[in-house]
Each structure stands twice: as structure tokens, then as C-alpha cells.
Amino acid sequence: MMQDYEMVIGLEVHVELKTNTKIFCRCATKFGAAPNTQCCPVCTGMPGSLPVLNKQVVEYAVKAGMATNCRIALNSKLDRKNYFYPDLPKAYQISQYDKPLCEQGWLDVETSTGEKRIGITRIHIEEDAGKLIHSPGKGTLIDMNRCGVPLIEIVSEPDIRSAEEAKLYLQKLRAIMLYVGVSDCKMNEGSLRCDVNVSVMPEGSRLYGIKCEIKNVNSINYVGRAIDDEIARQVSLLEKGVDIVPETRRFNEETGRCEKMRDKEKAVDYRYFTEPNI
């Protein structure tokens, strides 16, 4: 059955920048500090606090863009991405929407069948959210240390056609980010995480299928396993005549399977508008 379908994969890679301070305040970004010791009214979203953009974040993002053959925008802006989540204290994230810092890049990877060029749609800057700590019998605790840690999000074109290509792309992207010195790319510490967008279409078709997104995969090996599992699920549904429903899913490292988290959001759900304080 798999031979009758073509997989279409796009990756959204979140890279924490290794600046000494956060993106909009002077709080430290050191990993492993005691919970809630590296936060202030700005990164915890207290009323009346105002963000100030860290210049080095922009410089690092531009370096990442140049290293991945992107066009660097002369005019860019920051936007508010509105959604409620327990570890996002402001109930919005400062990110970029229609005017990202870097666009139209690419990377070449050497696959088992030859060289493959994978396009990069955009690289934009944004702030990270906090961290939820689930404690059995005690409920859920929130560590705000990660709030406001600077990120770049590197969004690929849907040019990837196999788990192998996805892993090779991630390996090369990680190597480049390490080489230019913008991040330590420690996936075990969450400084490089990947959202995987997966769909399938009949072999030879030009019409993409309905995609599902697998969130926050923190291992290159797990990315490959998540893709294989999700592709098998989608093909099985299509063979049974069942429509694919857009979903946000997660990869369960213990079972090796992808699980549904929630229905997929659309851009309109985030109610983007220009960040008025920067």
C-alpha cells in the first residue's frame, strides 16, 4: 500500500539562541537554574511591563539566515500571536507573522539517491514559553525560567519526501547552527526542537493531502520514527476510505506511536496583529 502513496513533509525547527539574556528583558538564559529564579515582570507578563528587543537576537537570526542562503529582509516587524496556554503567562507570544526576518533560503543534503535541495520558507524570531512540570499527586507546576528565551523558527518548504531526508536535513541544519555559533543545539535540553508536518497523496498526484502536525519532537531519531508511524496511520485510513482530519499530535517515546493532542489550529485562530510596544 505504501508504494501507492507519496509522503509530503515539512519541518518547523525551533532553535534557542545562546544569548546571555532573554529576548525582551535582562533575565539570564542559563539552563538548569532553580525554578522561577530567572524571570521578571517582563517575561512573566505582568501588567504595565514593556519589552525591549535584544539586539543580539536579531544579529544571530541574520547569521542563521545567511548561513542557510536566505534573503534578509530590510524591513521586518514583530507581531502578537494570541493563544491561551498555562505556561504562556501573557496569553500571547511575541513572534513574527507576515514580515519575517529571513526568507527564501535552501539547504542541499546528500541522500542515498543523490543530492536533494530542500527549500526554507522563512526564519523568524520569537520568544519561548515556560515549562510545565507534572508531579503525580501534586498537580502541575510551572517554571517561568524559559519564558522569553529567544528562539528562531526555521520553516522548511514541503520538499521532504522521506524520513531519511528529514533526518539528513535536521543533521545538516544542526551542524550549521553550531558552526555559526548561534545555538548550542542541545536537543536533550530543548534548545533544538522540531514540529513535523506530514501528509500523503496518491503517487504522481500534484494535490497535497490533509496534513497533521507532530509537536515538539526533541530527537532526530524520534523525528524519523514519528514520520514512519504517522505515514502508516494516514495510509491505513485512506485505504479504509476514512478522511484525514487535521490534528496536532505528539510522539510517545515509550510506545513509539503518535497520539492526538487536539484539533489543528489555523492562522486566523491566533488573531495576529502588530506588536504595539516594539
Amino acid letter, residue 88: L
| H/E run at residue 116 | strand 114-127
Residue 1's pLDDT band (boundaries 50, 70, 90)?
low
Instruction: Take residue 80 and report the three cell numbers written for it.
Output: 502578537
**Predicted pLDDT of residue 269:** 82
Other Cβ atoms within 10 Å of 31 Cβ, number: 16
Instruction: Take residue 110 and report the three cell numbers written for it.
Output: 546528500
Task: Report which of 60, 30, 52, 276 is spatially closest to residue 39, judged by C-alpha positions.
Answer: 30
Bridge partner list, 192 = 15
Bridge partner list, 142 = 132
Q: Which of 24-33, 54-63, 139-148, 257-266 has the lowest mean pLDDT?
A: 257-266
pLDDT at 265 over 80: no
Amino acid letter, residue 74: L
160-174 pLDDT tens trace: 999 999 999 999 999
80-107 pLDDT tens trace: 999 888 888 899 999 999 999 999 999 9
- What pTM value is reported for the model? 0.94
169-190 pLDDT tens trace: 999 999 999 999 999 999 988 8
Percent of the chain at pLDDT exceeding 70 = 99
Residue 12's pLDDT band (boundaries 50, 70, 90)?
very high
**Predicted pLDDT of residue 52:** 97
Other Cβ atoms within 10 Å of 52 Cβ, number: 12
**Predicted pLDDT of residue 192:** 95
Q: Which of 22-31, 66-75, 83-92 has the lowest mean pLDDT?
A: 83-92
CA distance between the termini of the chain:
52
pLDDT at 191 over 80: yes
Q: 190 vs 34, 145, 230, CA distance in Å?
A: 16, 13, 23
